[in-house]
Amino acid sequence: MPESPEDLLRHPVVAVDIEVAGLEWEEVDEATRHYLLARFPDQEGRESIRNRLALVRGLGRVVAIGVWNVDQDAGAVLAHGSGNRWQEFEPWPGTRVWRGNEREILEQFWGWCTKWGTIVTYNGRSYDGPVLMTRSAMLGIAPTRMLAGYRYSLREHCDLMEVLHFQGRRGRPTASTTGAGVSASSRRRARWTAPRSPRRPARAATTRSPSTVCGIPGPPRTSSAGSRPP
Name the strand (E) or helix (H) holding 112. Answer: helix 102-113
pLDDT lower than 50: segments of the chain: 1, 173-198, 202-230
Q: Tell me, what amino acid is at 76?
A: A
Residue 117 near residue 13 (C-beta atoms within 8 A): yes
Strand partners, 79: 64, 99
Pairing of strands 86-88, 95-100: antiparallel
pLDDT in tens, 58-107: 999 999 999 999 999 999 999 999 888 888 888 888 899 999 999 999 99
Domain ranges of the chain: 5-23+59-163, 24-58
Which pLDDT does position 204 carry in this prediction? 47
Output the CATH code of domain 5-23+59-163.
3.30.420.10
User: Which string of DSSP letters, residue by residue, matches 43-85?
Assistant: HHHHHHHHT-GGGSTTSEEEEEEEEEETTTTEEEEEEESS--S
Q: Which of 73, 170, 60, 66 lies closest to 122, judged by CA?
A: 66
